[in-house]
Structure 1
Amino acid sequence: MPEQPQTGRGASGPGHAKGDVGRRVAARRQQLGLSREDLALRAGSAPGYIEYLEEKTATPGMGFLLRLADALETTVTMLTGGSADLPPGIGRAGDHPELVELGRDQCWALLGTHGVGRIAVTTAKGPAILPVNYLVTQGEIAFRTSSDALPAGAAGAEIAFEVDHIDDAFSQGWSVLAVGRARTVTEPEGVAKLDRQAYSAPWAGGDRDLWIVVAPDRVTGRRILVRGAPGQLGGR
């Protein structure tokens, strides 16, 4: 009998968004050049369930996951995201990847309105790269820190800010680099405006009420494309 979807956390474990298993199954199946019918035959399932698994929010049981992993010549750990705490990009390169330069408007679109990025600063002990929660406002990038934290050293200097996204399932992703001078925002009206726009308090916690704004002189970006891959990140 073909495996039926289960509800709850099931074999995928806590912390993994629904649909992650299906994304990994689809990516691995296509890497092997298998159709859904081929995979169903290998795994002793029905093609309709493979389609359901890849496109919906099914959570298969461990028995079926073991058969599926064997059919896909991989492991249950990889199918269920057990390597999620490892650095991104541990998989193999996609089929005929293409590196594409992004235009300025595309870069700003990918930056979005907020997220987590990295700033590169010079410290007394040498260069450092630090993650920060950021927001985008009127063509500038702002983040909060504390006056005694390393990111505060960005104020008054030209710094680099970087944000990226890696999709391990499809071996593709993008990165955006913004370079410009950073300044502190201390006037009450400006601070209040940024406080209102902030999507979240800094993830690092603590008293971080010093706003630093970067006005980029240069914004560039690159994207790795795998033509024809499902879930392709927007194309050109």
Structure 2
Amino acid sequence: MTDQPSSYAAPAHPAGDLGRRIARRRTELVLSREEVAARAGMATTFLRYLEEQPAASPGTAVLLRLAGALETTVKHLAGGDVELPPGLGRAARAPHVTELTEAECRALLSTHGVGRLAVATAPDGPGPVIVPVNYSVLDGAIVLRTAPGGTPAQAAGRQVAFEVDHIDEAFSQGWSVLVRGPARAVTDPAVTARLAERAYSEPWAGGRREQWLLIEPAVVSGRRITV
């Protein structure tokens, strides 16, 4: 097959940007390499090459086939939309909105690592602040690390709102989950040690972020838009 690279005996290398996007989208769709390769009409070994070799640079025809197999766009696979906010595509002709059950909301919430925290400011302040944060779900609660004095740290002792979502640009569909409840700072050294051991999401911002914040979901709601 013409898609097969001339040599594929080398061990796997860290994936480049294209490879990571292909693998991530394949994971989102819960598809194996074999299934995606069959959809795209290419050898499984070639798909593995594209995912694992940073120097891989397929032509437009291959990208088009991959985009179709992965139900996305060439622009997304190529990283052309990384600096753009999600949701710029047109709405679908016949969207269908459904309310998610609490169980569905909690299941979706537990799959994510980035959410938006809404924090109320002082009564005489300019208004609420919304910031993106990396988070984990442990024992049903939302936990995250922040810097003492940072915006998320101001949520301690207050009622907050926390939102996560996913948008499929290619099909103009997606879902969102909204959590409301009290937030509190975690100060017990034994508890913070346990959180540090079990949490799977590290703050992307880096730095010394040693303040743990825990949000107890009191009200959980969500919606899904499908075509």
TM-score normalised according to structure 2 size: 0.70
2:59 paired with 1:62: yes
Q: Which residue of 2 aligns with 1:27?
A: none
Compared CA separation, residues 193 and 113, structure 1 to 2 (3 A)? farther
**Structure 2 counterparts to residues 188-207 of structure 1, below 5 A:** 188-207=189-208
Q: Where does the alignment leave 5 or more consecutive residues of structure 1 unmatched? A: 24-47, 69-74, 227-236
Q: Work out which of the residue numbers 4, 17, 35 in structure 2 matches 1:15.
A: 17
For each residue in 1:163-194, what CA deviation from the matched residue of structure 2 results, as whole angstroms up to 9, or x when unmatched? Answer: 11111122211100000011111011111111
Q: Report the AA paired with residue 102 of structure 2.
A: R
1:87 corresponds, among 78, 85, 88, to 85
Q: Deviations over 1:120-177 (max 9, x none)?
A: 0123442111111111122211111111101111011100000111111222111000
Q: Deviations over 1:26-67 (max 9, x none)?
A: xxxxxxxxxxxxxxxxxxxxxx997426x9836784363699
User: CA contact under 8 A between 1:4 and 1:49: conserved in structure 2?
Assistant: no
Higher CA-based Rg: 1
Task: Give 1:141's aligned amino acid.
Answer: I
| CA drift at 1:78 | 6.2
Residue 158 to residue 49, structure 1, CA distance change in 2 (3 Å)? closer
1:200 deviates by: 3.5
Q: Decide which moves more: 77-86 or 106-115.
A: 77-86
- Percent identical residues: 47
**CA distance in 2: counterparts of 1:91 and 1:101, whole angstroms:** 23
Aligned residue identity for 1:185: V
The alpha-carbon distance between structure 1 residues 6 and 96, as it changes in their structure 2 partners (threshold 3 A), is farther
**Contact 1:184–1:211 (CA<8 Å) still a contact in 2?**
yes
Q: CA deviation at 1:113?
A: 5.6
Aligned mates of 1:80, 1:138 — CA distance in 2:
38
Q: Equivalent residues in 2 for 1:41-80 (5 A)? A: 51-52=40-41, 57=47, 61-62=58-59, 64=61, 77=75, 80=78
Q: Determine whether 1:221 maps to 2:222.
A: yes
Q: 1:122 aligns with which of 115, 120, 123?
A: 120
Task: Judge which range, 165-174 or 87-96, deviates more.
Answer: 87-96
The 2-side partners of 1:66 and 1:196 are apart by: 40
- By how many angstroms is 1:91 displaced? 1.4
**Higher alpha-carbon deviation: 96-105 or 75-84:** 75-84
Contact 2:135 2:202 in 1 (8 A): no
Q: Would you tell me which structure has more strand in proportion to its own residues?
A: 1
Say if 1:171 and 1:3 are closer, same or farther in 2 by CA, change over 3 A.
farther
CA contact (8 A) 2:64 2:74 kept: no
Q: Distance in 1 between matches of 2:187 and 2:196?
A: 12
Give 1:4's aligned residue. 3
TM-score, normalised via structure 1 length: 0.68
